[in-house]
Structure 1
């Protein structure tokens, strides 16, 4: 794959614009959790993963599971940008009961690998996919993006032990380490640190990266697995609400969205499209 770093940055910027637009239009959504993951998701789809939008079930594809399903605004944007469906569909986010773009991703939408949003399920699902790929001798990888608050779910750590036992070096877990969750900073709720040491103790190869720096993300994700026979955990340090100054690192913005008035006041500065 030819990797254009400027294209990845532009893609991440468009993800953020789409997230702001979709959530404002719907007056609904988890905006800040989507904004923190934009650079990670753009890097995966524009610089790392092998996939075919014209054949979503291609057996040898790399798979991506958004375990933090509430951040689906970013996933919907990237899937439209790489051609899984027309971008006009983004207007339907949370617009009706049977929308293709609900508040958490569902497999009825092309490009979505798993229904997610009930936290703690993404890594266990990915283990089954990675193990199946190993058994079928398919040279593909499974990527999971999990929230750091989500790591308080015990199923993740049970899954981490299983992945190490089966030597799933085709599995890459990326932790969106923005240090915030629904009601407070993560360390005020349940102590995660030393997070890298915990992953390593469970038998994983680990690395810390700046989750907004493409120059760090690209080699860190592309070089996985770091060790043969070990799954990979990439702890990507991010800012919740990145790119929207009034939302950055603010607890209350976990599930807040812009009002139409705020959107209009920021539209020209952020290069946002007009809302009809």
Structure 2
């Protein structure tokens, strides 16, 4: 039977500033990308998210980022390799300690925002992140944009790679994401989003913004819980997939891993 992981970015509230609805999205997803304090998240909030993830049977991963609280990790940074490696080690380590206190563990790494987009193709920064993961635990899988050069960089360094697709984003015919600066880059129709992801799982691809079928091999689908209607969209997606016999299961919890 076909199975897929659903992941979401969580633990991103900071002090009295709230981001997303962790409590609502956790029953929907199978993996939680938990902020590590560099782009968002405070220790108490991160710990609460990890506790909630454990209670919901959701696997936790480190959502590492550039040191950019003001920009929510969405600003590009030209950071020296050794500094970036140390930053990522620091974030994974901090989350590991909080996860241990919550009775769970960090099972994978997924970069956030500008770091995610940059290392998808920038080999220098990609290797800095890869070296950080290997220094902490070489068995931690790295979540990457499906079809990106980062997948090759990581595999060459011996890391397990998890290819990711985005439920609410439009794709070009070459498999790249349509920039958020362009019209129709983000999809808002829950039924359209659900049907596209069903097609991706059952047919191995989806229709690009150019109108062409585009092959995309994904192990995990990212759904968001921090925008209007996002929770309902995620719920409809899960319901449609399960109705079609697709099992929702964390990639890090599958047999043999």
Choose between structure 1 and 2: higher strand proportion. Answer: 2
Greater helix fraction, Structure 1 or Structure 2: 1
Per the TM superposition, whether the score is higher than 0.5 is: no
